[in-house]
Structure 1
Amino acid sequence: MGILNSFFGKSSSDNKEEKSLVNWIPLRSIDQLKEIEVLSNKEPIAIFKHSTRCGISRMVIQRFESSFDQSLKDFKVYYLDLLNYRELSNEIGYKFQVIHQSPQLLIIKRGEAVAYASHYDITNIDLKSF
C-alpha cells in the first residue's frame, strides 16, 4: 500500500498525530473551582466544557486545539467531561454566572467569566487578547 499511497498523495507522516499545544488540565472536582478563581487573579484561565458523545463538540475541540500556537502553550485550559461531571458543569454555571452550553469555553479572569462562547463561536475567542 505504501506505493499506492505515494501515488495518491498520502505519506507516512499523514498518519502521525500531532501533539497538541493545549495545556489541558482535567477538571473533576468542585474544589478545583476555588483553585481556578485564585489562579485567575494572576493569569487568565480557560474552562472548556466538552461532551464526548457530541460530533459538534468533537469538531469544535479539534478546531480549538489547532488554533493554539507556541505563544499560547502556557495558557491553562481546564477540560471538563460533561458526561461524567454534569453536576460540576452546573456549579460552573452558578459560580461564574454563565448559562450551560455544550461545547462551551469560558475565560476566567479575576474570579469572573470575562468571555464565553459555545459551539462554533468558541474559535472566535482570541485567547491572545487575554
Structure 2
Amino acid sequence: MNWNQLTAKDQIDQIKANSSNQPALIFKHSTRCSISAMAENRLERAWNTEEIPTMEIYHLDLIQHRDISDYIASTFNVPHESPQVLIISDGKCVYHNSHMGIAYHEIKRIFESLVTA
C-alpha cells in the first residue's frame, strides 16, 4: 500500500476537491493503540491495487496530528474514532467505519459502487 501521509489541514480541502474525479480513503491511526495497529495491518495485507486502482489512500497519525482528525470530523460530519476509515467522494464522506468494522471487502464494495454509478 502506498500511503499518502496527512500532515496539514489544507490536504483535507484538496482531498475534498479532488474527490469529484476519484474517491479517496482516509485511515486515521493511533500509534498507541493495538486495535488500530491490527486494523492497519489487516488493511495493508488485504489491499489489492489492481482491484482498487484509482483510489487515493491517505494515512493520518492521530498522535502527531489530532487537529487534523478534528478537522476531518467537522468537515465531513462524522464522529472522531480511532482507528477509523473514511471514503470521500464528490466532496462528501460516503462511508466510514471504525475498529473491527474496517474491512477491505467493504471498502472494495463501496469503491465499485462509486465507479459504476
- TM (norm. structure 1) is 0.79
Alpha-carbon distance in structure 2 between the residues aligned to 1:53 and 1:114? 28
Q: Shift of the alpha carbon at 1:104?
A: 0.1
| 1:101-112 paired onto structure 2 within 5 Å | 101-112=81-92
Q: Any idea what the Cα deviations from partners look like across 1:39-65, whole Å, max 9, x if unmatched?
A: 100011000000011101001100011
Confirm or deny: 8 A CA contact 1:46 1:76 kept in the other structure: yes
Which residue is equivalent to 2:56?
76
1:90 paired with 2:66, answer: no
Structure 2 Cα separation of the partners of residues 51 and 119 of structure 1: 11
Q: Flag structure 2 segments of 5+ consecutive residues without an equivalent.
A: 112-117
How many Å separate the matches in 2 of 1:129 and 1:81? 24
Q: What is the identity percentage for the equivalent residue pairs of Structure 1 and Structure 2?
A: 39
Cα deviations by residue, 1:82-129 (Å, 9 ceiling, x for unpaired): 000001100000000000000000000000000000001011523253
User: Is the contact made by 2:51 and 2:108 (CA closer than 8 Å) also made in structure 1?
Assistant: no
Query: One-letter code of the match for 1:95?
Result: T
Runs of 4+ in 1 over 6 A off after TM superposition: none
Unaligned runs of 5+ in 1: 1-21
Partner of 1:51: 30
Please identify the structure whose Cα radius of gyration is greater: 1
What residue is the counterpart of 2:115 in the other structure? none
Secondary structure in 1 matching 2:3: strand
Structure with more contact order per residue of length (Cα contacts < 8 Å, sep ≥ 6) = 2
Q: TM-score, normalised by structure 2?
A: 0.87
What is the alpha-carbon distance in structure 1 between the residues aligned to residue 73 and residue 106 of structure 2?
Answer: 19
Larger CA deviation: 104-113 vs 69-78: 69-78
Q: Distance in 2 between matches of 1:127 and 1:96?
A: 21
Give the residue type in structure 1 aligned to 2:85. L
Q: Which residue is equivalent to 1:10?
A: none
Q: CA deviation at 1:81?
A: 0.1
